[in-house]
Amino acid sequence: MWTILLLATLLSSAGATSPTDVRQLFNGHDLVGWKHVGPGKMTVKNGLIHTHGGMGLLYFQGEQFGDCVIRVVYRMRHKNDNSGVFIRIPEEPTEPWMPVNRGYEIQIDNAADDYHTTGVLYSLTKAIARPGKPGPEWNTMEITLDGPRTVVAVNGVTVTDYTEGQPVPPKDKDYEPERGARPNRGYIGLQNYGRHDVVFFKEVSVRPLR
């Protein structure tokens, strides 16, 4: 008994997190707390967020996130579909392009090149690995926001490790994001990309980093 209590004390003092630290942003039933902007829509069916058309964005209202780990569990309907997870959006969006240019999109698209594939900061960072699974297999993405540092792991494999100020390629296409620093904290969102791209999300959760 004393051994168990001592171990619990040591874990607590070391800053270990517990299941109670995890906060589910998607309740599995509806989109309470979320708001959609732009074309298309998101719906909930059978415990899953379902993308329809686009390009639009579903963002979590009223709260900015930093120094945390965002966990997103998703799958594609087809072998490959396009979507994205947005972070570091500086203010609540009223349309889908502000988050592109002032936040970061973490891409979901296994077929694209190494600067536009699953787990990268879209067009800004090069994939360290390409562990994304094709549809309809489930994928787990964990996004660590640690001050100015962003680390993205897909299915347990690191794809991106980027700190503000590191060099990035110049903007090449008009639809790629504007370059420049992003804030340490921001709103988060999920993208519905297009009519032929269908992605399902079953978990969006956040736990504090420390």
Structural domains of the chain ordered from first start: 24-208 (2.60.120.560)
Give the model confidence (pLDDT) of 49-107 as tens digits. 999 999 999 999 989 999 999 999 999 999 999 999 999 999 999 999 999 999 999 99
Element (H, E) at 135: none
Give the model confidence (pLDDT) of 122-157 as tens digits. 999 999 999 999 999 999 999 999 999 999 999 999
Q: Read off the pTM.
A: 0.90
Quick one: tokens of 36?
């959609």
What b/e string do you get for 174-189 counting C-beta neighbours within 10 Å, with b at 16 or more?
eebbeeeebbebbbbb
Q: Whose structure tokens read 């090069």?
A: 126
Distance in Å from the first CA to the final CA of the chain: 27
**Nearest Cα residue to 37 out of 189, 195, 197:** 189
DSSP type of residue 8: H
Q: What is the spatial distance between Cα 106 and Cα 154, in angstroms, rounded to a whole number?
A: 11
